[in-house]
Every structure is written in structure tokens, then in C-alpha cells.
Structure 1
């Protein structure tokens, strides 16, 4: 009669039960999932083999160092939390919760930023109340957003997420259509101020271009006037030039000009005498 050998059940580990020691999955989330999975397995199974199969990358290197330091899952859980979610890591999250600020230059939306913060905060020990979390997270965003959260008395995480999502949706739509006439974000978001600054810059740019055109026109007119001044055509000499006339012609004209009609012989002689006097004066001159 032959002996029956014991066959170890095959271990199938899903991807959400793989830990690399980085931010792909939160340490507190991983350890909870691993614990639930082990509870569904027969007690006869080797726990260390199961845990070892879930450690990858840097986490696997760490596991090789502590494999001989535990015998039960609870002991492993304590070692794991101390390494990846101990007081040092939790204190960093608390400090960021108080002093953190959202910056759109990092390329993340407000909603995504908020969700990542909530994801870390909810695993802190001791835990914050929901209202405390909302108050501290509201300070991470612009002043006008913070004021709306306070004045509208948003006190739940779901309410905060919904409002932040509405801000992101409006801003995304505004960026796609910058020519919209109404650029006010609901409840006083600072986008209206930035849009007004953009319009003012456009107006100043247009004014500068118009001023440059005016200066060019004035410069062209000045050059044209100078050109016309130095290239002016001479006047018609026939209009201003007097034709020289002989003395005898002048005497005749003068005689005719001062000789009245129907004059007597004596009057004519007198006129001729006066003309001769004038002729003599012209010759002396």
C-alpha cells in the first residue's frame, strides 16, 4: 500500500495584493486586504509563503530581512505598519494637512489633489472627524474658494468634493472658450480677476499698436513736407516778371494816362510840358 503525499494548494495572488513599497497602493489599504484574504484560506496553509508571494521589488528585499522575526500574521502586521505607515509617515501627512497648498502648476486638477489628500488622511491614527478634515482641506485652495466653503457651511467630504469638482469643470470649459462674455466662476472664484487682467492687457496692446501707426504717419507727413519744400517747382515767370519798356513808351503812357478828353490846345501843351519834366526826372534817376 503506497503512501499518500500532501499537495500544497496553489496560491493565486491578484494584482491588488501585490506590494512594491511605493505609492501604488497605500500600506494601510494593502495590509487590510491581505488580512481579509488570509482569513479565507485554510488554517493549514503556510502563511509565510502567502505573504512572501505578495512582496515585490524593494518590499521583497525588506521582507527577506524580517522573515524570521515573526510567526503569526499579527506580528507581521506590526512590523509592516512600523516600516511603511509608522508615526514618522503619519506625522508628515498631518503637517501637510495643516500647511499644504494646491498649485495648478503641478498639472493636477483640484479634485484629484483633494482625493489624494483624503486618501492619506482617512488612514491616520487617531482619526480626524469629517468636519475637521473639511476645514483643514479648504485652506489648501484659493482664498475665494475657502470663503465659499465657510460661508456655505460645507461640512462633509462629499459636499467638498462636489464643490471642488464644479470649480474644475467650469475652469475647463472656460479654457476651451476664452471668448465667452460671462467669465465668472460660481461663488466668487478668482478666474474673473484673471480674465479681466487678460482683457486689459489686450486693450493696452491694441493702444500701443495704434500709437505706433500714428507715429509712423506723422513721420511720413514730416518727410513729405520737407521733400516738397526742397523740390518745389519755380513759379511761372510770365506771371511776375515785368517786361522792360523804353522811356519813350513810358512817356506816351503817362501822357495818355493824364490827358483828359476834350481838352484845349493850351491844356495839351501843358500836359506835354509835364510829361517832358517827368521824362527828364527818369533820365536823371
Structure 2
């Protein structure tokens, strides 16, 4: 579990944190000791934990102990929690550190009183540090200040999707491959829905790593992929396809003609349209 913590240096109060449950491949590297990065009054800590026991204990006890590497305890006063599913969609607004994957997320937080202004002041006070965190760690606290005072456990669905529309003289549709790299979701049911104007085409199949050619009679404007395992949605993507882009170019040509002491301006305009 890759675990990431942002805290105030002075009192070790958690500002933001997350853990990602991640199956390791041969290409992954492991950070097996706590590392620290200092940004003024903000400290950042990260490490790959072997399992969720340490995270669960920290959430239960309200303290994240970074021993033995660091003599530091991060306060986790987060009694409330909520679990939800993050889709792979351009419309998705929930923060996902792995934006290319769907993910289950359990967020731990505490309710703030109506007159609590402490966390509200944090983005302004530590603006420079948060800009650096965005550049280095791709966590944008300034754009999503609601993340402050929370710790989230992400459980991504390790499925990747390859999709491409096609059209020939005899067929039209799309090609799709769903890659279950670690074979974690054997027997999952896949539902593919393609839409173009008023036309809709649905295909159902069992998850595998094969390339599927779907001849639905049209190239989709929009496509939705939904995967269920044991009655639970574990993957859902929705996106629109750009089939062509239309450009209109308005060209104005101007020429000046001098006749004696007079200057006559001649203008000619033309308009061209073309598709990409």
C-alpha cells in the first residue's frame, strides 16, 4: 500500500493523506522506508506498506506512527467514513490519484463545526507549498480544498481498456480490448453500450483479454463500458469520440493602390471550410 501523508511540521497535524492498495508487478519499485520531504511549514511523508494492517491500526487509534525510520506520530482524528466508487469518466469530480483506473474509495474525515475557520485558511497560508505538491506529486489541494483533513484508502480496479472506432465499405463499429493484467476478475460480466444519435447498440460478454470487434452498424459518438463481478460494479467508463473537427477560415486580403496623391484600398475576402 503506497501511503502518502501531508502534515503541519509544527504539531504533526494531518492535512491530507491516502493509501493505494496496489498489486505489485515486476516493473514496480518499492519504497520500503519512510521518506520525508520538507516544504517550509509543511512536511510530506511516503512509504510502501506491506499490507493494510498498519493503516487500519492508525485509523483506529487516531495516530500514524512513522517509526522506526522517523520518530514522528501524525494525528488522525477522523471518526467518520464514507465509501464510494469512482468511475473513469470525463465528468467524474472525485479526486483519484490513479485517474486512468476506476477505484473504490473509503474516505475518513471529521465533521467541522460551522465556525471552524482553521482549515479554510490553510490553502492561502500554504499556497506555495501546495503548488509544489501539485507539480511533484499531482495532488491539487488548491483546486480541491475539500480534501483537507481527510485520509482516503483507494482500491483501484486493475483493468485497462483499449478502444478504437472503425468504418469500412462493409462494416462499422469499434474494436475493444479489456486487459485484466493480474487475472483478478475472472468471470466478470461486461456490458458494452454504443450510442450514435438515436441509435444504440448493446453487447454483453465475459471478461477476457481478447480483442473484440463489434460491428454495430455505426461508429459510436459515445461509449459506456460496465463490468460487474458478483453483482457489484467494479469498472465503468464513459467517453465521447471525436469523429471529425470542422474548421472555417476567413481570409482577408488587402492591397493599397496609389493614384496621384490618393491611396485606394482594395479588399478581397474568402471563406473556406474543411474537416479533419
Which structure is richer in relative contact order (CA contacts within 8 A, separation 6 or more)? 2
Tell me which protein shows more strand as a share of its residues: 2
| TM-score of the pair, normalised by structure 1 | 0.19
| TM-score of the pair, normalised by structure 2 | 0.20
